[in-house]
């Protein structure tokens, strides 16, 4: 079955807020095995909403609408959807009582507007809203199903999980199951070239690449009658991807990030880690601290942006800085060794580079970065050239540092 999302709200059209409802509903619908082909955002405007609802009815089985159920004049989703379906609005007694008690509990008096929220299109069913005054509504007509939900995420999310998802689950027959194969150390194009034949013949399961900064994720998705059958359809393709990408694959677990994969290897081997960052200025340490409970592994980190800090905190020799410069292979290596010593850690990762926009020269252009990984007495130092904004160069440097360290640990 197909589902379509319509999010109603002028604040979305003006970009005042980010549409997190759409992402939430899309993810939930995918988990329910519903195919979502369109999401639309439209303002609180009768004509344009009417047109959007008619278009959706012509091409989708289920339509989920959010927003525009409030008590104000601007809120006209319910009235407009009823008009599109040719239905009258009738007062729902239970909803009216709930509104009355909601205001009574809070010691407030409802205005005339508020009673509007008790109206339900004929044949429709009001859905309780435990976190606000606007009830949701479920309608079925001509084989289509239309669901109205309030716009505030803290009202919509619990209503969807508690009331709407169980209702939708009964409508569809299929189950969908996904596995994500996460890869680092190889670019998106090269990765895709390696699996062009698999992409070509995809059907069930499907295979889709997602490029992240410095990573490629392949999502394998199957549909079947049961969860077990869907998982069984996915398994051979997941195995094939693992075989082709070998140690480039760092996980097939949705919850595992690259920093968590690195932290897990260190923890298993009983190694502690530290960081020494110049141009990234703490981004590598902050990524490690994304991992809850990382204190077992990451004891300390150093941000040594100025040359004097590289010397005084990490013991980088002044001669090294003078002869090779702060952005050099030698300085990176001394930063890593010095950080390991200063923090008493087994492993240290040092980053030094030119993030721009200024400070580049012909010999040392913006984007030049040296990363040194020091693991139990051995050092591996690499030179990188990144392009893009100051932020992008620093993000690439951070993910490359994690990738380089992981490679050294698993090889």
| Per CB under 8 A, 50 contacts a second copy | no
Tokens of 65: 């609408």
- Name the residue nearer to a second copy (CB basis): 49 or 249: 49
The Cβ-side half-sphere exposure at 61, using a 13 Å CA radius, reads: 11
Give the range of 86-94, 208-216, 245-253, 263-271 binding a second copy by CB under 8 A: 208-216
- Name the residue nearer to a second copy (CB basis): 7 or 139: 7
Taking CB under 8 A as the criterion, the residue among 68, 301, 338, 353 binding a second copy is: 301
What three-state secondary structure class fits 43? coil
Does residue 407 contact residue 373 with C-beta atoms inside 8 Å?
A: no
Pattern 240-269, binding to a second copy, x per CB under 8 A? ------------------------------
| Per CB under 8 A, 285 contacts a second copy | yes
Which among 331, 341, 411 is positioned nearest to 371, based on CA atoms? Answer: 331
Pattern 161-190, binding to a second copy, x per CB under 8 A? --------------------------xxxx
Return the bridge partners of 90, or none: 120
The sign of the dihedral angle between the CA atoms of 324, 325, 328, 333 is: positive
CB of 201 to a second copy, least distance (A): 12
What three-state secondary structure class fits 181? strand
Taking CB under 8 A as the criterion, the residue among 8, 32, 33, 36 binding a second copy is: 36
Residue 20 CA to residue 344 CA, distance in Å, equals 44
Taking CB under 8 A as the criterion, the residue among 8, 32, 42, 56 binding a second copy is: 42
Taking CB under 8 A as the criterion, the residue among 50, 90, 309, 409 binding a second copy is: 309
Taking CB under 8 A as the criterion, the residue among 1, 10, 265, 317 binding a second copy is: 10
CB of 91 to a second copy, least distance (A): 18
Q: Which of residues 131-160 bind a second copy (CB under 8 A)?
A: 131-132, 152, 154, 158
Element holding 395 (H helix, E strand): helix 390-410
Pattern 74-113, binding to a second copy, x per CB under 8 A? x---------------------------x--xxxx-xxxx
- Name the residue nearer to a second copy (CB basis): 120 or 397: 397
Taking CB under 8 A as the criterion, the residue among 243, 293, 322, 362 binding a second copy is: 293
CB-CB neighbours of 188 under 10 Å: 15
Tokens of 341: 């010593």
Which among 384, 312, 364 is positioned nearest to 342, based on CA atoms? Answer: 312
Q: Give the CA radius of gyration of the chain.
A: 28
Residues 6+ apart with CB under 8 A from 90: 119, 120, 121, 122
Instruction: Give how many residues touch a second copy by CB under 8 A.
Output: 114
CB of 332 to a second copy, least distance (A): 17
- Name the residue nearer to a second copy (CB basis): 140 or 188: 188
DSSP 146-174: EEEE-SSHHHHHHHIIIIIHHHHHHH---
- Name the residue nearer to a second copy (CB basis): 32 or 375: 32
Taking CB under 8 A as the criterion, the residue among 289, 379, 408, 409 binding a second copy is: 289
Return the bridge partners of 121, or none: 89
Give the range of 77-85, 88-96, 120-128, 308-316 binding a second copy by CB under 8 A: 308-316
Give the range of 86-94, 165-173, 305-313, 316-324 binding a second copy by CB under 8 A: 305-313
| Widest distance between CA atoms in the chain | 85
The side-by-side arrangement of strands in the sheet containing 273-277 is 273-277, 347-353, 368-375, 378-385
What three-state secondary structure class fits 179? strand
CB of 106 to a second copy, least distance (A): 6
Q: Which of residues 226-245 bind a second copy (CB under 8 A)?
A: none
Which among 8, 87, 105, 95 is positioned nearest to 48, based on CA atoms? Answer: 8
- Name the residue nearer to a second copy (CB basis): 171 or 313: 313
Taking CB under 8 A as the criterion, the residue among 123, 166, 236, 357 binding a second copy is: 357
Give the range of 9-17, 140-148, 223-231, 242-250 binding a second copy by CB under 8 A: 9-17
The sign of the dihedral angle between the CA atoms of 309, 370, 379, 403 is: positive
């Amino acid at each position: 079955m197909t589902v379509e999302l319509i999010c109603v709200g002028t604040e979305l059209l003006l970009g005042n807020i980010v549409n997190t409802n759409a992402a939430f509903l899309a993810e939930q619908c995918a988990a329910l095995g519903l195919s979502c082909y369109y999401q639309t955002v439209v303002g609180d405007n009768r004509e344009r909403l009417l047109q959007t609802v008619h278009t959706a009815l012509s091409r989708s089985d289920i339509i989920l609408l959010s927003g525009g159920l409030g008590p104000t004049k601007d809120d006209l989703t319910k009235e407009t959807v009823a008009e599109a379906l040719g239905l009258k609005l009738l007062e729902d007694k239970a909803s009216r009582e709930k509104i009355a008690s909601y205001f009574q509990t809070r010691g407030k008096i409802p205005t005339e507007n508020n009673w509007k929220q008790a109206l339900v299109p004929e044949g429709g069913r009001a859905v309780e809203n435990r976190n606000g005054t606007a009830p949701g509504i479920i309608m079925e007509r001509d084989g289509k199903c239309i669901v109205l939900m309030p716009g505030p995420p803290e009202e919509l999310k619990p209503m969807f999980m508690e009331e709407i998802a169980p209702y939708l689950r009964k409508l569809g027959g299929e189950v969908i199951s996904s596995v994500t194969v996460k890869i680092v150390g190889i670019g998106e194009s090269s990765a895709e070239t390696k699996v062009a034949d698999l992409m070509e013949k995809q059907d069930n399961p499907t295979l889709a690449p997602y490029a992240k900064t410095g990573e490629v994720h392949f999502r394998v998705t199957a549909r079947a009658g049961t969860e077990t059958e869907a998982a069984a359809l996915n398994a051979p393709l997941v195995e094939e991807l693992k075989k082709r990408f070998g140690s480039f694959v760092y996980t097939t677990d949705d919850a595992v990030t690259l920093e968590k994969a690195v932290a897990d290897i260190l923890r298993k081997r009983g190694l502690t880690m530290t960081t020494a960052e110049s141009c990234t200025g703490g981004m590598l340490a902050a990524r490690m601290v994304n991992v809850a409970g990382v204190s077992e592994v990451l004891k300390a980190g150093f941000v040594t942006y100025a040359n004097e800090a590289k010397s005084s905190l990490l013991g980088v020799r002044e001669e090294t800085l003078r002869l090779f410069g702060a952005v050099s292979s030698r300085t990176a290596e001394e930063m890593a060794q010095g950080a390991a010593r200063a923090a008493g850690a087994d492993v240290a990762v040092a980053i030094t580079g030119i993030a721009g926009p200024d400070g580049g020269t012909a010999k040392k252009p913006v984007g030049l970065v040296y990363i040194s990984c020091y693991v139990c007495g051995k050092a591996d130092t690499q030179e990188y050239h990144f392009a893009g904004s100051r932020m992008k160069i620093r993000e690439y440097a951070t993910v490359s540092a994690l990738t380089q360290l992981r490679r050294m640990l698993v090889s």
